[in-house]
Amino acid sequence: MNIISRKLDLLLSLLAVYTRRS
C-alpha cells in the first residue's frame, strides 16, 4: 500500500483539472 503514490495520483488529477479550466 503506497499512500504517497495515491496522493500523487490525486494531486496529478487535480492539477489536470486545474489546467483544463484555465
**1-22 pLDDT tens trace:** 699 999 999 999 999 999 998 8
Residue given cell 495520483 in the structure block: 9
pLDDT in the model for residue 22 = 80
In 5-15, which positions are buried (b, 16+ CB within 10 angstroms) versus exposed (e)? eeeeeeeeeee
Dist CA 22 CA 18 (whole Å): 6
Q: What is the pTM of this model?
A: 0.53
